[in-house]
Amino acid sequence: MTDARPVLVLNCGSSSIKYQLIEPSSEQVLASGSVEKIGEATGTLKHRHGDDHYQESHRVADHGAVLDAIHTMFNQFGPALDDLNIRAVGHRIVHGGAVFRDPVIIDQQVIDQLRLLTPLAPLQNPPALAGLEAARRMLPDCPHVAVFDTAFFAALPAVAATYAIDRELAEKYGIRKYGFHGTSHQYVSGKVSECLGLASDGELNQIILHLGNGCSMSAIHNGVAVETSMGLTPLQGLVMGTRSGDIDPGMLVFLHREAGMSVDQIDTLLNKKSGLKGLAGVNDFRELLQLRSAGDEAAALAFDSYVHRLKLYLGGYLALLGGVDVVTFTAGVGENSPVLRAAVIDGLDNLGLRVSPQLNESTDSGPRFIHSESSGITIMVVPTNEELAIARAAVALTSAVST
Ligand code: ADP
């Protein structure tokens, strides 16, 4: 008999928590919501149950208070959490370090190990820990499963994962390329294989462009990631909403010595005040496109820099894979901006990539093909769904344990 009990998926960031309640056999979202501006004077709380949307504004002090607020919204607007007999809670955890290569059921030992990983993800792991501890208090009787953003990249070949620095130092501090957005890259690459009628580990060379607020690219050979653009932290690689991506590492020393900036100031500069925000003053891609259309030169340069970096990586990954079958765009920008997609592929005819303007402009929301008939390489848009991937992982793990 199939177990239809729903799975609650929690994605805890530093200033917001998003959640979805998913019925595992139909994979339908029964309810979803978010709490934003945690700790600020007025928080924004949104809850959707079926087609009904609710919104509230009041202060939510910390992650413990958020979980209480989510509990209240479920019970007030439905479905009542206390009556649901939740099967499992799936938690998105950004950094699994070298320890966690697969989803795990959370117990005290896992929490202790996660705490030890905090230096690797000081912005991301502490809020996730606070969220999962509060969630365990709220739902103590069901298993809680951690799903790691780094896991899909845990088996990167050494040549991709290794930084060319002193090996002993790297070993001592666990300095290597970990990669992030792995849940999305894995989900999307599986979906691409499915769309082509192949098994998820079937013979296929893929490049995936995950372009949201954070941006990352991956090269995947027969279902296994062989390279990715994010590194020790989610700062490396592409130009992002507020993150610089690649810079000359010598710039850190320069900023410290010449601009007198502290480590914390440099951290804030590169993580929160760089990327599109640093170049054009806005990190939202829609606003960037509007400014660019209105003739704003800074916005035009930011757009061009974003595209330039994408082309650099795309070309590099084509060379690494020695040929590619499918290039796929996903996440907020990748799924919704035909202008960006066209700009990235523009001029790559000789490499076998050509977009069909008509298919690229299509407003379909599902997985779709956007290459022209003369394109040697398949080009797709595939909506990512990290929450569903987390729910599937939670179900797989808890079923495996209970049988
Ligand atoms: P996150 O990394 O927070 O999950 P998302 O994947 O939701 O981010 O992507 C957010 C980005 O997607 C924002 O920069 C937003 O402007 C952009 N975006 C959303 N819709 C569109 C659109 N129609 N056109 C261009 N950009 C869009």
Is residue 403 predicted with pLDDT exceeding 70? no
Q: Could you tell me if residue 295 is left (phi over 0), alpha (psi between -120 and 50 degrees) or otherwise beta?
A: left
Is residue 7 predicted with pLDDT exceeding 80? yes
Q: Look at the pTM and tell me if it is higher than 0.75.
A: yes
Closest ligand 1 atom to 384 CA: 6
Predicted confidence band of residue 401 (pLDDT cuts 50, 70, 90): low
Mutate to test the pocket of ligand 1, among 149, 185, 213, 290 (most ligand atoms within 8 A of CB): 213
Query: In the 8-state DSSP scheme, what is residue 200?
Result: T
Closest ligand 1 atom to 213 CA: 2
Query: Measured between alpha carbons, how far is 44 from 390 in angstroms, rounded to an integer?
Result: 24
Is residue 202 predicted with pLDDT exceeding 50? yes
Query: Which residue in the list 52, 107, 149, 284 is annotated as catalytic?
Result: 149
Is residue 1 predicted with pLDDT exceeding 60? no
Distance from residue 16's CA to the centre of ligand 1 (Å): 16
- pLDDT, tens only, 65-107: 999 999 999 999 999 988 889 999 999 999 999 899 999 999 9
In contact, 63 and 134? CB cutoff 8 Å: yes
- The encoded tokens of residue 159 equal 């040549």
Mutate to test the pocket of ligand 1, among 34, 210, 336 (most ligand atoms within 8 A of CB): 336
pLDDT of residue 4: 82
68 catalytic, yes or no?
no
- pLDDT, tens only, 68-79: 999 999 999 999
Distance from residue 30's CA to the centre of ligand 1 (Å): 23
- pLDDT, tens only, 290-343: 999 999 999 999 999 999 999 999 999 999 999 999 999 999 999 999 999 999
- pLDDT, tens only, 247-266: 999 999 999 999 999 999 99
Between 14-18, 220-224, 394-398, the lowest mean confidence (pLDDT) is in 14-18
Q: Please give all residues whose beta carbon lies within 6 A of any atom in ligand 1, as ranges.
A: 212-214, 241, 284-286, 331-333, 336-337
Closest ligand 1 atom to 210 CA: 6
Ligand 1 atom 3 nearest Cα: 213
- The encoded tokens of residue 199 equal 């098994």
- pLDDT, tens only, 334-375: 999 999 999 999 999 999 999 999 999 999 999 999 999 999
Distance from residue 161's CA to the centre of ligand 1 (Å): 29
Number of H helices, E strands in the chain: 15, 14
Query: Measured between alpha carbons, how far is 286 from 278 in angstroms, rounded to an integer?
Result: 16
Query: Measured between alpha carbons, how far is 160 from 266 in angstroms, rounded to an integer?
Result: 26
